[in-house]
Structure 1
């Protein structure tokens, strides 16, 4: 069977198109897909790297704060206790007789530093006495802060206040 010249051109063109389609399907497309996958992976890895850098900076900042906290604790007098500090400050502020109760809590926390907490109830104090006392006990150098405060007017004498404080410090 003899094919005409025109039919030979069609068959040759068809073979070329088929070979070209197979080449695209099995050689070029996998390469393009892998390249796209690598680009996606690269984007994900860049995002992960940025997160790691941010976490590292946060870690270094926390480490520095921890070192500062340790230095402050070392600078505090050796036998410092929150309970005695609050009692001494109450004497200076003139509210020692108004202390109804002081309840120390067990130290809590994980890591090198523990929280020490004292709940203190003061009755029949004036606003001026309360402010003076708060100024005395809120001490960044001694690492003492007010965690919670509740202020109410005294039920019997409304010109006086009843105050409940939760005072916090850190220990090693």
Structure 2
């Protein structure tokens, strides 16, 4: 038994079937594909960002390795009997501050991150002029022995006007 439909009803049913078929194709064929494409694009952007960061970290790591190798090279060129204490004392004599040394306290520590042993000296200079301190710091910082001032505390010397006292924490890599 066939349904009798007029032409207009047949077109309506045909278009309704086409519309339902199009919705099904879109829902189960096209939509998952576009969602996967969007997901892959987001993942690709994330991976590109991660790659840029990895390359940046790689160059930073290589730079640190070069610095480390340079430090090892300079450290190996340093005289074998080098001690920070004697070096600072020699520079104090050179700067004319040997009579102004109140105390020098040597110590050592291990840097936990790099596993490098450091030699430290706490040194107090009393009754000196700022220009003398600047000259001494210049000698310390420009030496070829990988010596640097970690901390510096300056205070006015109460007795004489224009004179200061300074406490330096100087550090180097132990040979």
Superposed pair shares fold, TM > 0.5: yes
TM-score normalised to structure 1 length? 0.90
For each residue in 1:116-162, what CA deviation from the matched residue of structure 2 results, as whole angstroms up to 9, or x when unmatched? 22110111223343233223322341111122222222111224221
Aligned equivalent of 1:123: 126
- Alignment partner of 1:133 out of 116, 136, 151: 136
What is aligned with 1:79?
Answer: 81
- Relative to structure 1, the CA distance from residue 144 to residue 4 in structure 2 (aligned partners, 3 Å threshold; closer, same or farther) is same
Whether the 8 Å contact between 2:121 and 2:171 is mirrored in structure 1 is: yes
2:142 is aligned with 1:168: no
Task: Name the TM-score, length of structure 2 as normaliser.
Answer: 0.89
Please state how far the C-alpha of 1:82 moved relative to its aligned partner.
Answer: 0.5
**Count of aligned pairs between the two proteins:** 172
Can you give the 5+ residue segments of structure 2 that lack an aligned partner in the other structure? Answer: none
Structure 1, unpaired ranges of 5+? none
- Structure 2 residue aligned with 1:12: 14
For 1:10 and 1:127, locate their aligned partners in 2 and report how far apart those are by CA, in whole Å.
99
| Alpha-carbon distance in structure 1 between the residues aligned to 2:65 and 2:83 | 25
| Correspondence for 2:147 among 137, 144, 147 | 144
2:57 alignment partner, one of 55, 58, 66: 55
CA change 1:14–1:165 in 2 (3 A) is: same
What's the Cα RMSD here? 1.7
Picking from 37, 45, 48, the partner of 2:47 is: 45
CA 1:147–1:10 in structure 2 vs 1: closer, same or farther (change >3 Å)? Answer: same
CA-CA distance at 1:11 after TM superposition? 1.3
